[in-house]
Amino acid sequence: MKAYLKNYRQSPRKVRLIADLVRGKSVKGALATLKLVDKRAAEPFAKVILSAAANATNQGKKQEALIIKRVAVDKGTVLKRFTPRARGSASRINKRNSHITVELGEK
């Protein structure tokens, strides 16, 4: 019962703040927590959890007995952009992406 979100356009450091909130909670409790969190990554994270719950339901598991067993936020591809600086030089801007993995288990 896994679900993935690949190449989410936000840095992993910011998304891990949300991952720490929901790790080890029940699916219902995690979704309730994410509704109240004022972070941009909360909505996509909720979608991944709902997707994992749907995958578990298709395998015949009970929705009420599911807990979030493992949450991983890994580094995705980095878009490298440049901005002009003084005296004809340039500085690099790294636009980071995240891979979100949610794995559910039963109580």
Per-residue confidence of the chain (107 residues) as pLDDT tens digits? Answer: 899 999 999 999 999 999 999 999 999 999 999 999 999 999 999 999 999 999 999 999 998 999 999 999 999 999 999 999 999 999 999 999 999 999 999 98
Range of the domain at 8: 2-106
Q: Is 11 helix (H, G, I), strand (E, B) or coil?
A: coil
Q: How far is CA 75 from CA 6, 10, 40, in A?
A: 10, 10, 17
Report the CATH number that the domain containing residue 47 is assigned in CATH. Answer: 3.90.470.10
Q: Quote the CA–CA distance of 3 and 98 in Å, as a whole number.
A: 14
CB 15 within 8 A of CB 97: no
Query: What is the H or E stretch that residue 48 is in?
Result: helix 42-58
pTM listed for this prediction: 0.92
How many structural domains is the chain composed of? 1
